[in-house]
């Protein structure tokens, strides 16, 4: 499957989804004006990937800021990952957050509570 990549811009995050190298990450700031236009292709790629996923998928979020509309897209991504797990594949979400940012940490905890997949919180120095 061809990798999906979107370079970071002022209002949108860096995204890489590369099944061959098992590299899945969304990082940076996410506040696109039209979240559907930005996240639609990501969700479409993940739907296609979910038809034949890797035995293990490790999805990394390393967001330093995101808006409310992005939260909905994150939930949509997590639901797709949860469905991959329900089909018998290993899935883990790693939520990286700046160690001094309680809002991003709390958001990760909230996302972890709404899905049934392993979810690891990882602080880092920003």
* Annotated domain spans of the chain: 4-124
Mapping DSSP onto H, E and C, the string for the chain reads: CCCEEECCCCCCCEEEEECCCCEEEEEEEECCCCHHHHHHHHHHHHHHHHCCCCCEEEEEEEEEEECHHHHHHHHHHHHHHHHHHHCCCEEEEEEEEECCCHHHHHHHHHHHHHCCCCEEEEEECC
pLDDT digit string, tens, across residues 40-51: 999 999 999 999
Please report the pLDDT score of residue 126 as a whole number.
82
**Percentage of the chain with pLDDT > 70?**
100
CA distance 98 to 56: 26
pLDDT tens per residue, range 79-116 = 999 999 999 999 999 999 999 999 999 999 999 999 99
Average pLDDT over all residues of the chain: 97
pLDDT score, position 43: 98
Q: The whole model's pTM is what? A: 0.96
**Hey, which CATH number is domain 4-124, 2.40.50, 3.40.1350, 3.40.1000, 3.30.750?**
3.30.750
């Amino acid at each position: 499957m061809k990798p999906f990549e979107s370079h970071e811009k002022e209002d949108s995050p860096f995204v890489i989804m590369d099944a061959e190298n098992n590299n899945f990450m969304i990082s940076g700031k996410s506040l696109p004006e039209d979240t559907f236009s930005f996240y639609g292709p990501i969700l479409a790629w993940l739907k296609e990937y979910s038809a034949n996923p890797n035995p293990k998928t490790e999805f990394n979020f390393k967001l330093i800021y995101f808006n409310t509309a992005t939260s909905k897209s994150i939930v949509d991504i997590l639901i797709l990952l949860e469905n991959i797990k329900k089909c018998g594949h290993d899935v883990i979400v790693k939520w990286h957050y700046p160690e001094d940012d309680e809002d991003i940490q709390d958001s990760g905890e909230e996302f972890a509570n709404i899905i049934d997949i392993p979810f690891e919180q990882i602080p880092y120095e920003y």
